[in-house]
């Protein structure tokens, strides 16, 4: 690798569904890697921990691919698995120990808590620093935090100072000898030649520790960039337990990847003008960490939905119809679906809503009682329906245009406006008071089915 090639990385741990916050972090790294002609390294941090499961790893890779981040692009590198780098982590630990940057400690958490309490402090006080202990069961390897101040230069937050005195001698190797996050993470970054670490702000407190590790390992620390976390309505960090954060769920509800990407990228960042809907290519060339906001941003599903609507309306008619097909039962007529598609495009929020919007075309009508009662309560409804059926039955041209003008003809004798006059027909044919434009629906439905339903309604109303 050349030192002039920026190397970004995204390092999720497979502990659950892929999170929208993780998606945003990945996207930020991806945009930068591509913009700078660098690489995007995917590293799965699967080191021990009972929470890791292989299926989550597949979920991460699928989700990233959905967002457009995949090995189809030469910028993408990996995935690598942290678990396969254990030897290197251990080597680094040994090196640190040999150089005096780390020491073994035999104290248990309980003993530490006890001593801390008795001394009026909270954390570990470096009590085993000069015992000269060697490795052994139950002994952890701790980093010897030097005196002084650690200055973290962060592309999004500026310069942040940490007094080393408040950073306790953190653990590198557990009592069972396995490497801990801070060590594994840094060693992997070093090994993989990572030059830019862009991640969520929750890692900022880890950064001075990691920077000390880089230095102790004889390496120059990477460029840091800590972006604010995403929060829920209560302004708390998005959590897998409480909040709807699974990217896969949004995907299965029919959110478009493009809309999700655009939304995520403009959460905490803006192109600097009044636009917020903009193509990826433009986002990629305009995105800079220096422009990322410093405050946590609320992940607002309503705004995501609005973005999705925008993207749906931007689709070509063909692309839209094709996408609709993927969201309805196979047995539904693709021709009929394609015919009605242009009329649902402006009213669709997410694709999972497609079936419910047009099901009356493909299955038996289900009359909604409330709608029926409301519409048929009008004294003219039955008569109007009867007159309309008669007029429609005589039609030779079953087109939306003719259907409309015919009803307009009929309604004059009832002294109604079209808005009122179409209601009985609508409820008879679709079962509801709202739906796609009526005459276009009738056209797609065809003469036989339409008339059949209207006659059934007349019978129902008469009986």
- List residues with catalytic annotation: 240
CB 22 within 8 A of CB 43: no
Nearest distance, CB of residue 155 and RNA, angstroms: 12
- Strands (DSSP E) contained in 201-328 are 223-227, 230-231, 297-298
- In the block, tokens 């999004």 appear at 156
Query: In terms of DSSP bridges, do strands 196-200 and 158-163 run parallel, antiparallel, or are they unpaired?
Result: unpaired
* Cα–Cα dist 68/26, whole Å: 11
Nearest distance, CB of residue 41 and RNA, angstroms: 15
Q: Which is nearer to RNA, 75 or 226 (CB)?
A: 226
Q: Which is nearer to RNA, 75 or 358 (CB)?
A: 358
* Cα–Cα dist 224/397, whole Å: 69
Tokens (6 digits) for 68 = 């457009």
The CA dihedral of 130, 136, 138, 140, to the nearest 10 degrees, is 50
Nearest distance, CB of residue 248 and RNA, angstroms: 19
* Cα–Cα dist 361/430, whole Å: 8
Nearest distance, CB of residue 234 and RNA, angstroms: 6
- Strands (DSSP E) contained in 155-308 are 158-163, 171-173, 196-200, 223-227, 230-231, 297-298
Phi and psi torsions of 433, nearest 5°: -100, -15
Tokens (6 digits) for 53 = 């499961």
* Cα–Cα dist 434/175, whole Å: 66
Q: Which is nearer to RNA, 301 or 449 (CB)?
A: 301
Q: Which is nearer to RNA, 215 or 270 (CB)?
A: 270
Q: What angle do CA 156, 46, 257 make, to 5 degrees?
A: 60
Q: Which is nearer to RNA, 67 or 180 (CB)?
A: 180
Of residues 104, 128, 130, 124, the one with CA closest to residue 112: 124
Q: Which is nearer to RNA, 97 or 404 (CB)?
A: 404
Q: What is the CA radius of gyration of the chain?
A: 32
* Cα–Cα dist 341/343, whole Å: 5
Nearest distance, CB of residue 364 and RNA, angstroms: 20
Nearest distance, CB of residue 282 and RNA, angstroms: 15
Nearest distance, CB of residue 3 and RNA, angstroms: 27
Nearest distance, CB of residue 7 and RNA, angstroms: 19
- In the block, tokens 């400690």 appear at 105
Tokens (6 digits) for 195 = 């030059």
* Cα–Cα dist 192/32, whole Å: 17
* Cα–Cα dist 353/308, whole Å: 13
Q: Which is nearer to RNA, 15 or 336 (CB)?
A: 15
Q: Which is nearer to RNA, 6 or 431 (CB)?
A: 431
Nearest distance, CB of residue 272 and RNA, angstroms: 5
Outline where 345-417 has alpha helix (H).
Answer: 354-362, 369-376, 381-393, 400-412
Q: Per-residue b/e over 408-439, b at no fewer than 16 CB within 10 Å?
A: eebbeeeebeeebbbbbbbbbbbbbeebbbbb
Q: Which is nearer to RNA, 37 or 138 (CB)?
A: 138
């Amino acid at each position: 690798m050349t030192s002039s090639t920026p190397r970004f990385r995204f390092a999720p741990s497979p502990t659950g569904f892929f999170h929208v916050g993780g998606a945003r972090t990945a996207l930020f790294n991806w945009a930068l890697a591509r913009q700078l002609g660098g690489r995007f390294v995917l590293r799965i941090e699967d080191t021990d921990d009972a929470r890791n499961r292989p299926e989550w790893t597949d979920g991460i890779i699928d989700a990233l691919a959905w967002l457009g981040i995949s090995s189809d692009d030469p910028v993408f590198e990996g995935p690598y698995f942290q678990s396969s780098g254990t030897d290197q982590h251990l080597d680094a630990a040994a090196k640190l120990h040999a150089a005096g940057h780390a020491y073994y400690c035999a104290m248990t958490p309980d003993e530490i808590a006890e001593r801390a309490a008795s001394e009026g402090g909270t954390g570990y006080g470096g009590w085993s620093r000069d015992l000269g202990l060697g490795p052994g069961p139950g002994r952890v390897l701790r980093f010897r935090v030097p005196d002084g101040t650690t200055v973290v230069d962060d592309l999004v937050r500026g310069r942040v100072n940490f007094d080393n005195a408040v950073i306790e001698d953190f653990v590198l190797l557990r009592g069972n000898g396995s490497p801990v996050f801070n060590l594994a993470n840094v060693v992997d970054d070093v090994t993989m030649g990572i030059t830019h670490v862009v991640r969520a702000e929750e890692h900022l407190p880890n950064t001075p520790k990691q920077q000390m590790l880089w230095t102790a390992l004889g390496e120059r620390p990477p460029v840091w960039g800590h972006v604010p976390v995403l929060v829920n309505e209560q302004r708390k960090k998005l959590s897998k337990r409480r909040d709807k954060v699974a990217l896969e769920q949004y995907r299965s509800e029919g959110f478009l990847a493009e809309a999700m990407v655009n939304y995520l990228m403009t959460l905490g960042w803006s192109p600097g003008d009044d636009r917020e809907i903009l193509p990826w290519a433009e986002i990629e060339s305009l995105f800079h960490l220096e422009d990322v906001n410093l405050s946590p941003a609320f992940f607002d599903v309503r705004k995501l939905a609005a973005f999705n609507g925008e993207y749906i309306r931007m689709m070509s008619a063909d692309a839209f119809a094709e996408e609709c097909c993927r969201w309805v039962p196979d047995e539904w007529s693709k021709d009929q679906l394609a015919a009605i598609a242009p009329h649902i495009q402006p009213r669709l929020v997410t694709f999972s809503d497609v079936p419910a919007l047009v099901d009356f075309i493909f299955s038996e009508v289900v009359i909604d009682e409330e709608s029926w009662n409301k519409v048929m309560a009008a004294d003219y409804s039955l008569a109007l329906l009867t007159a309309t059926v008669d007029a429609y039955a005589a039609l030779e041209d079953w087109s939306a245009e003719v259907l409309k003008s015919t009803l307009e003809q009929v309604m004059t004798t009832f002294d109604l406006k079209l808005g009122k006059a179409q209601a009985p027909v609508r409820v008879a044919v679709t079962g509801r008071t709202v739906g796609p434009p009526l005459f276009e629906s009738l056209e797609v439905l065809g003469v036989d089915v339409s008339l059949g339903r209207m006659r059934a309604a007349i019978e129902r109303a008469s009986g």
